[in-house]
Structure 1
Amino acid sequence: MIMDDRQYMSIGQVQDQFLNPKTPKVGKENNSLPTGENSFASVLNKIKDGADNINSEGAVKFSKHAMNRLSMRNIELTQDQMQRLSHGREEAMEKGIKDSLILVDQLAFIVNVPSSTVVTAMDQTENKSNVFTNIDGAVIA
C-alpha cells in the first residue's frame, strides 16, 4: 500500500471552516456566498414567487400525459372552459381536496390540486364505465 504525504482536514476543522468563517484578510479573495440578484436565494425566491402567482391566480398547467390525451382525443378548450377549470381547482383547494375530478361541460379532468396540474383529460362520452379512481373529491364547474 502506497501512502502519500497529503494532509487531510478533520471533521472539526471542516466544520470550523464553513460554520465559523474568519474575516477575510486584506489582499485575500473573499470566498463568501454570492448575494444580490444572481444569488441562489434570490433565484429561488423568484421561482417561488412565480409559482405563488400562478397558484394565487388559479391557473392550471397540463402534464405531458394530459397534453397527449387532449391531442389524441381532439379536445380543444375554450377560454371559458379554462376559466371554469381553474375555478374548479380553486374550489377543490378550498375544500382540502388533493386529487380532484373536475367536470366542465362534457369534459372530465383529473387535477392534482396542490401543484395545479391537470394529470389527465377525457371526454365523458369516452369513459364508458364512468369510474374514476385515485381521487378524493369532485367538482362540477
Structure 2
Amino acid sequence: MSFRVEAAQNQIIENKSNPINQKIDRKFSSFLTESLQKQTTATEMKISNHAQKRMEERDIQLNHSDLTTIEGAVEELNQKGSKNSLIIYKDMALIASIDNRTIITAMNANEMETITNIDSVKKINV
C-alpha cells in the first residue's frame, strides 16, 4: 500500500479583525510559525509536586520576584542548550528541567553534597 502526498494549495482565510473583511492568502508555514511562537511565549515556571513538598519540608519560600529571577536564569540556560540544571539562588539550590521550565526539587544550599544527572550549573547573584 502506498500513499501519495500532493502539494498543498494556499489557504484563503477571511480576516475578521479587518473591518473591510479583506481576504488573506496564508501558507501552512505561516500557521506553523505562528503556533510555535505562541508555545515559546508561555515561559512561566512551574513547580513540581515533589519540589513543592521539599520546599514545605525545608521552609523554602519563593515569591513572585524570585520566580521572575529564576525564569531569567532558565531562559539563559535554555539559550545555551541546557536540559537539567542546578540553580543556586540565595540560600537555596534548585534542580530544574529547562525544557519543561519546571523546578524538579529544592533544597537548602548547605544540604548539597552530591548532585547527579545535570548538565549545567547557574549561580544567580543577588
Equivalent residues, number = 94
TM-score by length of 1: 0.58
| Runs of 4+ that moved beyond 4 A | 47-51
Matched, 1:132 2:118: no
Distance 1:67 1:50, change over 3 A: farther
Counterpart of 1:79 (choices 58, 64, 78) is 64
The percent identity for this pair of structures is: 29
How far does residue 97 in structure 1 lie from its aligned partner after superposition? 0.4
SS of corresponding position for 1:125: helix
- Give ranges in structure 1 of 5+ residues lacking alignment: 1-11, 13-44
Alignment correspondent of 2:40: 52
Equivalent position to 2:93, from 108, 111, 131: 108
Contact persistence 1:63–1:117 (CA under 8 A):
yes
The structure that has the greater radius of gyration is: 1
Q: Does the alignment pair 1:69 with 2:54? A: yes
Kept in 2, the 8 Å contact 1:107–1:124? The answer is yes
**Higher relative strand content:** 2
Structure 2, gaps ≥5 residues long: 2-31
